[in-house]
Amino acid sequence: MKDIYHFKQGNTPLVISIPHAGTAVPKEIACNMTAQALQLPDVDWHLPMLYDIAQANGASIISAKYARYVIDLNRQPEDTSLYPGQDTTGLCPIDTFSKEPIYLQGKKPDQREIQARIAQFWRPYHNKLKSELSKIREHHGIALLWDAHSIASHVPRFFNGKLPDLNFGTADIHSCDASLQQTIADTIQKSDHAKEYSHVFNGRFKGGYITRHYGMPTINIHAIQLELSQCIYMQEQAPYQYNPALAHNVKLLLIELLESCISWANQNKKSKS
């Protein structure tokens, strides 16, 4: 199922998942969508480019090919809300972050279509991610999952005011060992590259389905989500251009963060026997 996702094998305990950077939309779905939705305003733009530094660090990388409007890979297949009582988008979103309709009148996917999309797009990505984490834990004695996301700095639907630049989620330290979160906090505190950025742990974004589902510290699989504010590396309005000058410092910080995670993982391996 290589056409469903992009995957590059690494040689460390770290896997980077990028579930919302896809931009492909099958023709049979696109014909039912509005012109505004087809501009894909809610993509986690340019994250594969931002995280291309991870290959040099030996991380495995899996990223989505298809847009989140096709199906949201960071939602559970039962489509239960990740944040009960708060406004969220679903497994097969029907409106944008700006609450504009994604589909033309009468063209929303029905349950049969949603189940077909789960089988075609959702399961292959998750089967690969689950398999890779299992293999890495077996080989290294530990597995570390970094779920990479980004979002516009102002989205009134989901949060008031301006989002912090770096939003880390560990499901209130249930998806990873507390010492891993502390390692990341220490790295930010010491890094010259982090000084210009605001950050928070388990604020508005505590980690989505991927972080919460795969993070199992009791069996030495640790997961953390990073939601970047897009204003620190790109143009937030259409045509959503990547800004290499802005992104340069973000990349240097990501290198430090990923290196600190790999170092932590190597120090916390458990016997494979």
The pLDDT tens digits of the residues spanning 222-247 come to 999 999 999 999 999 999 999 999 99
pLDDT at residue 271, rounded to an integer: 56
Q: What is the pLDDT of residue 273?
A: 38
pLDDT of 9 > 60? The answer is: yes
Greater confidence (187 vs 80) lies with: 187
Task: Provide mean pLDDT across the span 11-23.
Answer: 97
Question: How far is it, in rounded angstroms, from Cα 34 to Cα 164?
Answer: 31
Has residue 2 got a pLDDT over 60? no
What domains does the chain contain, in order, with CATH numbers? Answer: 5-267 (3.40.630.40)
Q: How confident is the model at residue 1 (pLDDT cuts 50, 70, 90)?
A: very low
Whether residue 217 is preceded by a cis peptide bond, meaning omega within 30 degrees of 0, is no
Q: What percent of the chain has pLDDT over 70?
A: 98
Per residue in 19-32, pLDDT (tens digit) is 999 999 999 999 99
Q: What is the pLDDT of residue 143?
A: 98
Tokens of 1: 């199922």
Q: Name the pTM for this structure.
A: 0.95
Q: Pick the residue with more confidence: 256 or 86? A: 256
